[in-house]
Structure 1
């Protein structure tokens, strides 16, 4: 992978101005959020969630909804920069917390942390996390906010383990003891997949991901390495997940440098200068993706490419990042190709 340096100086000036404006907007009018302490009685399982709701949604309007799953050891409080960005632009996001693989993993005897991580990564917990998204979406849509959600624009999203959770929610599955372990929810019309690990123990990713037909956005970085007690995954694994999805309705963005946790709320990982740029670029890319998927509008993606190209890398044998839009139509009209290789 090689760094693309053309236009770096111009980009730095543009990013500085954008970040300054974004920061001022966030400080002057912080979007509201609401915490829910739900519990699924059928599974005797708590499902806390935080809703970032658009503060300027017009009365009677319907807003898109992103249901977000955190990474291993996270919580509903995480990825707040995305929640703030989306809500400031008319998009609601529901950040779900997964008991058993949330921040409670870091509490208790440090000598037992590997055992706790292994239990959290077990397929039973992976399935439980996807069912958390289903339950939280049920509760959300049946709440007073549900009447204001555009049910044709509901998206599953997540980072790291949460990216796997989002993929399960849109159709990923594994075979265990002669039966499929799956939890696809047809209400999700697209997925945002940030730093997806491999499905550990699965050698045939194409089989695991074969039933995913909704459009997917994949975001990663050349230094997106997962290294926690008991687990190691190189950055190339993110590209394997992208390449294993058969549908051409997918986009890939690979940032040069960065880190696995650059996409979290942590401020300095991946480098203090690069970190805020990657966050802003990722947030903007999600909106460009939604415009392409739900509006058939590739103009936002084209502008994004021009602005952020100097931060992107291309991988040998993989598509450029992201792929150019081609033959876009509204999903309701039966679009088959949202993107194509050059």
Structure 2
């Protein structure tokens, strides 16, 4: 992986990390037990937690460039395999299909309910997690999941109603290459295949957050082009931050895996930028250290950096 010198930014030294999978949580209500992966630093105490939601079709083995990085720098990272994963191959006529977005949120809340069990599943981890510092993060579909946990309202396509499904145990969010508002911004393909995007209301998100968007992420879901994925920042309240990745497409240079076939814009420098800025934000928002975040804000202000721009409101 490209070191930080490619970005011109700095970061703390890494340390060994361990990972345990699958930890199986019984979940009869979803038709499949919930398989979870826990990655954690080998040493350290009072470790903050990142609850990470994968993108559509992925699984608990994805996103190693981010997960490994966060875990080796002081965070416990918890991932689940959601029902939309290709590992389950849920068919189009499955009654769970229209509710995939809701099952994802339920998965996350079950993980929060069973943190003690997950902590006990990793040798040497019990007593070292800080349950009061939890950040929800996710890529693509997973970004919506993370957003819902901090107040994003989604109109249920089967009822036409939106409800507050946030969780007070989550203090902040990181949304990577995530869908914007629905309505007239959606393409016919999106309306047919992802109806849960029809109505998204970002105005209720009061928790702090970092949004990461590629300026070439032109998805087939929106008529507006790459600016659509910045909506979680532009349409939310204050205390939000936006990292725009120059040349970044949907995988932001390759965050979904070290050799992910779906990466269309493979670029180790972009991946290093996302690693560094997200880690700096995690350390900042959890109160671990503010120095790297302040440096990132200075280095990425305006249009002077070749890899991206960081702005706040």
The verdict on a shared fold, with TM-score over 0.5 as the criterion, is yes
After superposition, give the CA deviation of every residue in 1:122-146 in whole Å (9 maximum; x if it has no partner): 3x21111011011112222344256
Tell me if 1:283 matches 2:293: no
1:158 corresponds to which residue?
Answer: 138
Q: 1:171 aligns with which of 143, 151, 161?
A: 151
After superposition, give the CA deviation of every residue in 1:185-219 in whole Å (9 maximum; x if it has no partner): 11000001000113545879997122211101001
Q: 1:81 aligns with which of 65, 76, 84?
A: 65
Change (3 A) 1:74 1:201: farther
1:96 corresponds to which residue?
Answer: 80
8 Å contact from structure 1 (residues 216, 251) kept in 2? yes
Aligned mates of 2:268, 2:49 — CA distance in 1: 24
2:116 corresponds to which residue?
Answer: 141
After superposition, give the CA deviation of every residue in 1:62-111 in whole Å (9 maximum; x if it has no partner): 10000000000100000111111111111110011102x11237x69xxx
Change (3 A) 1:218 1:118: farther
Larger radius of gyration: 1
User: Which of the pair is proportionally richer in helix?
Assistant: 1
Change (3 A) 1:202 1:162: farther
Give the SS at the match of 1:237: helix
After superposition, give the CA deviation of every residue in 1:219-261 in whole Å (9 maximum; x if it has no partner): 111112334xxx4563111122211112x11110001102102
Aligned mates of 2:135, 2:272 — CA distance in 1: 19
8 Å contact from structure 2 (residues 211, 233) kept in 1? yes
Tell me if 1:186 matches 2:187: no
Change (3 A) 1:54 1:214: same
**Backbone CA RMSD of aligned residues:** 3.5
Shift in Å, 1:179:
3.9
Q: 1:55 aligns with which of 19, 42, 56?
A: 42
1:41 corresponds to which residue?
Answer: 28
- In the alignment of these two chains, the number of paired residues is 284
1:67 corresponds to which residue?
Answer: 51
8 Å contact from structure 2 (residues 59, 87) kept in 1? no
Aligned mates of 2:149, 2:3 — CA distance in 1: 37
Stretches of structure 1 that go unaligned for 5 or more consecutive residues are 1-10, 314-320, 324-338
Change (3 A) 1:210 1:117: farther
* Structure 1 length-normalised TM: 0.72
Aligned mates of 1:184, 1:249 — CA distance in 2: 17
